[in-house]
Amino acid sequence: MGNNNVIDMEKSKDKFNWKKYTRSSIAVVIFIVIAIFVFSNLFIVKENEYKVIRQFGEVVRIIKEPGLNYKIPFIQSAESLPKYQMTYDVEEAEINTKDKKRILIDNYAVWRIEDPKKMISNARNVVNAEAKMSEFIFSTVRSELGKLNYDEIINDEKSSRGSINDKVTKIVNELLQKNNYGIVVTDVRMKRTDLPEENEKSVFTRMISERESKAQEYLSMGDAGKNRIIAETDRQVKEMLAKAEAEANRIRGEGEEAAAKTYNEAYSKDANFYSLFRTLESYKKTIDEETVLIIPFDSPYAKILMGEEN
């Protein structure tokens, strides 16, 4: 009975195969390590990026299409470059205009990488590419704005900035292409044009003076126009009054002529009546309540007054 409690270790070892278990575990570990190793060297290229594959520091491949890719472990490395358009603020700088005025120019540029291999070969990285692009933009803007007067740049009515922006963009792209930098500038724009601080006050004073002068010019033109209109109106009124007066005199003359003709015709029919009428008319003008007349008693005038004249 006591012998039944004794375990035979040799028989148990045969039942549990330690070697087989160890080999399986090692295989699993190796598989996991290989999987990690493989997946660590897989990478995804996104829609908005380039992948640059380097081997011992040299560019051996540039992947432009999105998708899953693989690099050789320990030998190759992958880095990303932006494929989308980027905005770069060009550092503010002073330039001289054609009429020797100094102004501050603040530009920005929209740009993108067109050929990553050329960009890496000649600019090495994005920072250097932007620096070189900034140099070209500044030199071109300085050259082009140096051909314009100050007023042509800041005055909205006379400004040529729109065409200058397009011209600067074209020239900068030509310079970048000539030097094989592999980047393209989509647009260059002026954000701001200001005066240096020391010149602002004097220029503002001059601008105010010019505006006041222009306002006075407009007022003078208005006064001249008003005086011209008044003079023309007075002339027309005088002409109208002169014509009206001439017409009235003509009508009056014709009336007096007709009246005289009528009187003559009437008076010629009775000479005594005409004589009496003229005498009475003279009385109306020469005799009133205070009039004293001294006339001969036998004069026709006295006989009429006495009612003796037939």
Chain segment 136-151, per-residue pLDDT in tens: 999 999 998 888 888 7
- In single-letter form, the type of residue at position 62 comes to I
Is 186 found in the same domain as 101? yes
The domain tally of the chain equals 4
Q: According to the model, what pLDDT value does residue 114 have?
A: 95
pLDDT in tens, 60-87: 999 999 988 888 888 888 899 999 999 9
Of the pLDDT bands very low, low, confident and very high (cuts 50, 70, 90), residue 241 is very high
156: which 2 tokens?
């909205």
Is 153 found in the same domain as 177? yes
Is 227 found in the same domain as 186? no
β partners of residue 112: 184
For range 121-137, the mean pLDDT:
94
Residue 120 and residue 52 in contact, taking contact as beta carbons nearer than 8 Å:
yes
For range 286-294, the mean pLDDT:
72
The b/e string for 190-206 (b: 16+ C-beta within 10 A; e otherwise) is beebebeeeeeeeeeee
How many other CB atoms are there within 10 angstroms of residue 166's CB atom?
A: 12
Q: Which of 196, 178, 84 is nearest to 140 (CA)?
A: 178
Average pLDDT, the chain: 81
Is 93 found in the same domain as 78? no
Compute the distance between CA of residue 301 and CA of residue 295 in angstroms, rounded to an integer.
8
Is 254 found in the same domain as 171? no
In this structure, what CATH number is given to the domain that contains residue 104? 3.30.479.30
Q: Is residue 28 part of a domain?
A: yes
Is 93 found in the same domain as 59? no
Of the pLDDT bands very low, low, confident and very high (cuts 50, 70, 90), residue 262 is confident
pLDDT in tens, 42-64: 888 999 999 999 998 888 999 99
Is 226 found in the same domain as 173? no
Q: According to the model, what pLDDT value does residue 199 have?
A: 60
Q: Is residue 6 part of a domain?
A: no
Residue 158 and residue 108 in contact, taking contact as beta carbons nearer than 8 Å:
no
Where would I find the H helices in 98-196? 116-123, 126-145, 150-154, 161-178
Is 183 found in the same domain as 107? yes
Is 105 found in the same domain as 169? yes
Can you list the pairs that 149-157 forms with residues at least 24 positions away whose Cβ atoms lie under 8 Å?
149/97, 149/98, 149/99, 149/101, 150/97, 150/99, 150/101, 150/103, 153/97, 153/103, 153/193, 154/103, 154/193
Domain of 247 in residue numbering reads as 214-269
Is 130 found in the same domain as 230? no
Q: Is residue 100 part of a domain?
A: yes
Which residue reads 């740009």 in tokens?
A: 111
Q: Kindly tell me if the per-residue pLDDT of 10 is higher than 70.
A: no
Q: Is residue 70 part of a domain?
A: yes
pTM, whole model, 2 decimals?
Answer: 0.54
Of the pLDDT bands very low, low, confident and very high (cuts 50, 70, 90), residue 129 is very high
Is 70 found in the same domain as 131? no
Is 152 found in the same domain as 138? yes
